[in-house]
Amino acid sequence: MLSPSELLAQVDQTLKDRSPELVSLRRELHAHPELSHHEYETTSLLAATLTEFGLKVYPREEGTGFYADLTPEGFNPATQPTVAIRTDIDALPIFEANEVSYASTRPGAMHACGHDVHMTVATAAAMAIHEFRDHLPGRLRLVYQHAEEVSEGGASDMVSFGAIDGVDAILAVHCDPQLEVGRIGLRAGNLTAAYDSFTIKITGKSGHGARPHHCVDPIRVSAQLLNALYQMPVQYFDSRDPVVLSVGSLHAGDSFNVIPESAEFKGTLRTLTQESRGRLEPVMRKIIEGICMAHGATYQLHFEHGAPSVVNSAQLIDLFEDVGRAMLGDQGIYRIPLPSMGGEDFSYYLQHIPGAMFRLGTAGPGTRTRHLLHSDKFDVDDRAITLGARLMSRAALTLMQRLANQELALTPPPQAVFATSGAE
């Protein structure tokens, strides 16, 4: 039986030795992206790969997303821990602009958020650890989640499917092109914001553009309403508790000389606390009602709750720091000072079990790997792939060992108010 330190060393060396395979896998995945809820080939490829490693695979009937278990002989779920690694598997609807040999072969789909790297990191952990299955002090679960990039996100589907049943803690990684290779970003507590969306339809009275006094102009009402809504975060919320409102779609009318019957606009809201999040809809409704009443217009407000905030376990962030410092040195650890106002549906898992996500530096020399997430030129330095796999594998094994030896008692996550769907 390998000692804990010997197991870590063996897995680490395996990943170093198989680095070319990891780069090849990431490039294969990058070249064949699939959009949210359509990740059929990706699911099939990765499920087959893990089956070859001897993992038990549990696919969803829909054909997108699955989880898999690496279970040691004689595993007892009552006395031994289960640690999960989650990865997202979908791509974005972007036409890739990179001129590289592994560029997307599917026009209009691209792994521009690093999910190809995330998948490779999770798969590499299984690739390396399965050789030492019976030396594990617990079970390793890999969660391959579909549809992270859309509002009807896949994390809640995976929770309902049973992907975290019996899991003690869950870990994840996210690429960060603003950090250089050899550095990781860590933040306990809020890592991302909660994500909500809204659609507002203003109905007035149409008529000739030369006679606005005969009409109720929904465009004029919308203009005043937009101005009021953009001021809402400052006027109604504590500036020390950020609220972000952005409108991304606005449509009204089809002719230059016709005042239309209605106008519609859509936007997104980002918050960090449940208190502010819970106040958004009633405050917006109050503002809309007042302006519409003043102008004789009516309205419809559709408000959709998305992903809650990712709230990282401080205990697991400390674990990532221990592992990262041992591998990368003090200079490799970046403590993220402020949360991102982007969204991530990894948060759904954290409503049920403790977990944490770390940021993996992917920027290399030059400009090729420094384009931001969701850019049509996003790419990563190949060195980050094996480094991410080594960090994640070591973190998962270290956590498993500490839980098995009762050296760590994880604090349960606080219950969140909203639990529906969401995406960045």
* pLDDT 10s digits, 7-64: 999 999 999 999 999 999 999 999 999 999 999 999 999 999 999 999 999 999 999 9
What's the confidence (pLDDT) of residue 1? 84
Question: Does residue 130 have a known ligand-binding role?
Answer: no
What's the confidence (pLDDT) of residue 416? 46
User: What residue ranges in 213-321 does DSSP mark as E strands?
Assistant: 243-252, 258-259, 262-271, 298-305, 311-312
Looking from the CA of 183 toward its CB, the CA atoms found within 13 Å total 14
Verify that 140 and 213 share a domain, yes or no: no
Question: Does residue 275 have a known ligand-binding role?
Answer: no
> Residue 128 sits in a domain of what CATH number?
3.40.630.10
Verify that 12 and 137 share a domain, yes or no: yes
Phi, psi (deg, nearest 5) at residue 88? -95, 155
Verify that 185 and 202 share a domain, yes or no: no
Number of residues in the chain: 424
What is the model's pTM? 0.94
CB–CB of 381/100 below 8 Å? no
Scanning the structure block, which residue is given the tokens 């449509």?
Answer: 251
What's the confidence (pLDDT) of residue 414? 77
List the domain range (segments joined by +) for residue 11: 4-192+309-404
> Residue 214 sits in a domain of what CATH number?
3.30.70.360
Q: How far apart are CA 152 and CA 304, in angstroms?
A: 10
Q: Which of 277, 305, 333 is the last residue of a domain?
A: 305
What's the confidence (pLDDT) of residue 234? 95
Non-local (6+) Cβ contacts of 5 within 8 A are none
Q: How many structural domains is the chain composed of?
A: 2
Verify that 366 and 298 share a domain, yes or no: no
Verify that 185 and 221 share a domain, yes or no: no
What's the confidence (pLDDT) of residue 422? 42
Question: Does residue 374 have a known ligand-binding role?
Answer: yes
| Active-site annotation, residues | 90, 148
Is residue 424 one of the residues assigned to a domain? no
Mean pLDDT of the chain, nearest integer:
96
pLDDT, one tens digit per residue, over 217-247 is 999 999 999 999 999 999 999 999 999 999 9
Q: Which of 264, 289, 305 is the last residue of a domain?
A: 305
SS3 label, residue 199:
strand
Angle subtended by helix axes 4-17 and 383-404, to nearest 10 = 160
pLDDT, one tens digit per residue, over 96-127 is 999 999 999 999 999 999 999 999 999 999 99
Mean pLDDT within 194-206: 97
Verify that 187 and 325 share a domain, yes or no: yes
Verify that 293 and 330 share a domain, yes or no: no
Question: Does residue 174 have a known ligand-binding role?
Answer: yes
Verify that 155 and 223 share a domain, yes or no: no
Question: Does residue 175 have a known ligand-binding role?
Answer: no
